[in-house]
Structure 1
Amino acid sequence: MTDHNIRFSASSFAEQRNFKLMELPAELCKLMEEALLSKGSSGFHIKGSSSDDAVLCTQDKTYIIRSVSLSNSILVVTSPPDSDISLEPNESGVIIRDQINEILELTQAIPKLHQLNSLLRGKEYGEDEEDNEDFQDVQVRECTVSLVSHWSMFSKKFTYANAQAMIQASEEELNRGLRERRILQINDSLRPISSAYLTKIIQFILNSLTALSLNHASVPVEKLSTALVDDHDVPRIVSVQVMSWFGDIGDIDGRWKMDVDAVVKEAGLGILKESKDKSLDQEDFISSWKELVGEKFASAVSLDLLAGNYLITPAGPYSIHEVLKYFPVSSLPVDPAQRFADLFLTRRKWKNEDIVPFLSDIAVNSKERDKMLLKYARATTDSQGLWYTARAQYNG
C-alpha cells in the first residue's frame, strides 16, 4: 500500500466552498465524454436568477439542479505543485483543497415556457397590424420579479435573444415552445399571432391550394406566399412562418409539405376559441369545422385532434344531450397540486383518457405523469374503465 503525505492547502480557507460536485445522469455523461474527445464545447448552460431554482440546459433538455446533503464528507485533493521541495524523493503527497458536504443532483424537468405568456402579453400580432418596425410600447404585466430584473418592463421589443437569456429552457425546447404558442419573429421581435387572424390565414391557405390546384404534399412556398400577399394581404414574413408551424419546408427545393392533421386541428381550435364563452352543439361544431377546412380535408376532422382543449358536458341538468365547451390546458396552473385542484373543481370524477391530455405539459414523460396521478388522485375501476377522483377535498 502506498503511503501519502497529506497536508492542507495554504489557501484552504480562501478556497472553502469554492468546489461543487455534480452528479451527471448517464445521458449527460455521454455528452460530456463526447465533448472532451472532440475538444469542443459541452453545450451545457446554467440558467436562473437569484430568486429562481437553477437549471442546467443541454441542446434539447432542461434539468433542475438540487442540492443533496451527504452523510459522509468528501475531500477535494490535488497533487502538490512541482515547486514543493519539502517532500522526500519518491514520496507521494496530496493537498486538501476543500471539504464537500453536498452534491448537486440533476433531474429532467419541464421547461418554464409558460413565462412567455406574461412577457408577451399585449404584443399580439393581428390582421390590422401595420408592417413596420415601430411597435407600440406596451407595459408587460404580471412578470415575476426575477424576470423584470433582467429586462425592462417598458422595452419596445422582446427578442429571441431575450427569450434565450431569460426562459429556463434548452434551445430546442424554446423553439418548439415558440411554434406551439404560435409566436412570430418579426423585425427582431417576438409577437404571438392572434387566434382569429391565424384561423383566417389557415382558411386562406386551404382556399389558395384549391384555387391554384396545388398538391398539399408539395407546395411551392414562393407561389403560395405570393398568392397570400396578392389576394389577402398576408405578409410573406407571416405566411412562411405559419407554413413552417404546420409542416416541413424543404431547404433545397423550397417546397412545403403540409401536415394535414396539424392544419385541421388549428382550424378546429379557432372555432372553439371564438366560442369560448358559450357551449357548442357537437354536431353543429363538427359541421362548421368541416366547412372551414373544405371537402378535401373534411375526412381528417376528429375530436381526438383537440384533446386537452375542450370538455363535453350535458346541455342541462336533466338533459341527455351533450355540448362542447372550450377548456384549454394552457389556461390551467403549471404547479401540479394547483393543476389537480382546478381539474377536480371542474369535474368531480375523470376518466383516465379524459384527464391524461390535461397533464401532458407538466410531466416529463408518462412515468412522471403516473406518479402525479398516484399522488393527487384516487383510482377506481368499473365497467366503463378507469376513473380518477381527488385525494383532497376541494370546495367548488
Structure 2
Amino acid sequence: MPEFELHFSPLSTEENATFKLLELPLELVSLVESSLEKSETIDLTDPQSLVIKGDPTEDAVLCTRNKTYSIRAVNLSNTLLVALDFADDAVVIRDQVNEILELAPAVPKISKLVALLRGREYDETNEDDDEEDTDDSTRYTYTQARQDIQASDAELDQCLKQKRILIIKDELRPISLPYLNTILELILTVLISDSLPHSACPIEKLTSALAGEHGVSPTVSRQILKWLGSISSDRAKWKMDVVEVVKELGLGILREYPRSAPEPVGKEAFLDRWKERVGDTFVEKVELKLLAGNFLETNSGIRQLESLTYFPASALPTDPAARFSDLFLTRTKWKVDDMTPFLSDIAVNNKERDKLLLKYCRAVNEAGVVSYTARAQYNG
C-alpha cells in the first residue's frame, strides 16, 4: 500500500471553511458530464452553465437553463479533508469539511419580480412608449431580472407569460388586464371581420389591422399572440390557443366580482356572459374548470343559487404556512378538488403538494367525501 506524508497548507487557516461540497442529483451529473465532453473550459455565458442566485437577504438557489434547485446544508457524521496532491509522496491538506450542500427541485421565487413591477402597468395610454427613448430610473429590465430573480431563464420566461408581463425595449411592464381583454376582443373581431383563420392566421395582417384600426402597438400585439398561441417557424403565421384565449376572457369577467364586491355573480349569469364574449365559434370551449384556482363558488339565498367571486391563487402568499392560513381564514373546510388548484404554484409536483397537505391540513371523511380542515397549529 502506498504511503504519503500529510502536511497542512500554510493557507489552511486562511481558507478554513471556504471549500464546499455540492451533491448533484443525477440529472445535474448528466448535465455537467455532457458539458465537459463538449469543452474543457466552463463558459459562464453558456445557458447550460450552473448559476447560483440570491442576494444577502435570500436563501441561495442553483439554476440550470430550465430548473431551479434549493440549496440545503446537511451535517456530516465524519469530517472530510480537502487535500491537494503536492508531490508523489506528499499530500497537502487545505481544509476540513463538516457538511455538504444538498440540492432539491424548488418552485422559482417570482414574488420579488411582481413586487418590483408593481405600479408599472402598461395600458392604452402607453402605446407610444415603445417608440420613444426614455431615461427613467424606475425602469426594471429583463436583463436585471435574469440576474436578480431566483428562477432559471426558462422559468422566468414562463413567468412573464403567465403573469402577462411585456418586454418593451428590454423594460418589463405588466399589461393592464382590462386592456389585455380589450385587445383579445379586438383580435376576435379582426379574425371574423377579415375572415382570417384562427389556426393559421397571417401575423402581419392581424397586427397591422390592430395597429391601423385600433392603435395597438405591434410590439405589444406580437407578444400577446405568443402568449396565447404558437408562432410558425417562419414567424409568418399564428395558431391560436383557443383554450387560453377563452380562459383569459373568462377571467376578465370574473375580475369584475372580487370578494369586496357588493354581491357575487350568479354562476349561470356568469357563464352566459362568458359565452357571449367568446362568440359562437368558441362557445363550446367555455367550461368553469378552466378558471380553477381563480374563484370561490358558494350557495346562497333561499333557493341555494350558486354564485362566484374572484379569488386568484396568484394573490395569495407564496410561503406555504401563510398560504394555508389564508385559505382556512377564507373557508374552515375545503373539498379536495376545490383546494388543490390553489397549491399548484407553491409545489413543484404532486408529491410535494401532498406533503404540504399532510403538514398543514387534517383530512376529514364524511360519507365518502374527503375534505380538509386546518391543523390545530402550523409548524412553519
Shorter-chain TM-score tier: over 0.9
The residue aligned with 1:272 is: 254
State the Cα distance separating 1:11 from its structure 2 match. 2.4
The residue aligned with 1:96 is: 93
The residue aligned with 1:251 is: 233
The residue aligned with 1:332 is: 316
Q: Which amino acid aligns with 2:93?
A: I
Question: Which aligned pairs between 1:302-341 and structure 2 lie closer than 5 A?
Answer: 302-316=287-301, 318-341=302-325
The residue aligned with 1:149 is: none
The residue aligned with 1:191 is: 173
SS at match of 1:18: coil
The residue aligned with 1:369 is: 353
Q: 2:78 aligns with which of 52, 63, 72?
A: 72
Quickly say closer, same or farther: Cα 1:279–1:393, change in 2 above 3 A: farther
Question: Which aligned pairs between 1:205-216 and structure 2 lie closer than 5 A?
Answer: 205-216=187-198
Identity of aligned residues (%): 52
The residue aligned with 1:35 is: 35
Q: Distance in 1 between matches of 2:7 and 2:204?
A: 72
Q: Which amino acid aligns with 1:36?
A: L
Q: Which amino acid aligns with 2:222?
A: V
Alignment check: 8 A CA contact 1:135 1:156 kept: no
Paired positions, count:
367
Alignment check: 8 A CA contact 2:127 2:217 kept: no
Alignment check: 8 A CA contact 2:143 2:170 kept: no
Unaligned runs of 5+ in 1: 82-90, 138-154
State the Cα distance separating 1:136 from its structure 2 match. 9.6
Q: TM-score, normalised by structure 1?
A: 0.89
The residue aligned with 2:120 is: 123
Q: Distance in 1 between matches of 2:225 and 2:368?
A: 41
Q: Distance in 2 between matches of 1:108 and 1:57?
A: 10
The residue aligned with 2:162 is: 180
Alignment check: 8 A CA contact 2:82 2:95 kept: yes
Quickly say closer, same or farther: Cα 1:130–1:249, change in 2 above 3 A: closer
Tell whether 2:17 aligns with 1:17: yes
State the Cα distance separating 1:135 from its structure 2 match. 6.1
State the Cα distance separating 1:229 from its structure 2 match. 1.1
Q: Which moved further from structure 2: 345-354 or 357-366?
A: 345-354
Structural RMSD (CA): 1.7
Alignment check: 8 A CA contact 1:196 1:274 kept: no
SS at match of 1:122: coil
Q: Distance in 1 between matches of 2:148 and 2:184?
A: 32
SS at match of 1:198: helix
Q: Which amino acid aligns with 1:339?
A: R
The residue aligned with 1:151 is: none
State the Cα distance separating 1:130 from its structure 2 match. 4.2
Tell whether 2:56 aligns with 1:50: yes
Q: Which amino acid aligns with 1:376?
A: Y
Q: 1:390 aligns with which of 371, 374, 379?
A: 374
The residue aligned with 1:107 is: 104
State the Cα distance separating 1:385 from its structure 2 match. 2.6
Structure 1 residues 176-232: Cα deviation after superposition (integer angstroms, max 9, x where no partner): 000100001113211101111000111111111111111111111001101111221
Q: Which amino acid aligns with 1:354?
A: D
SS at match of 2:18: coil
Unaligned runs of 5+ in 2: none
The residue aligned with 2:8 is: 8
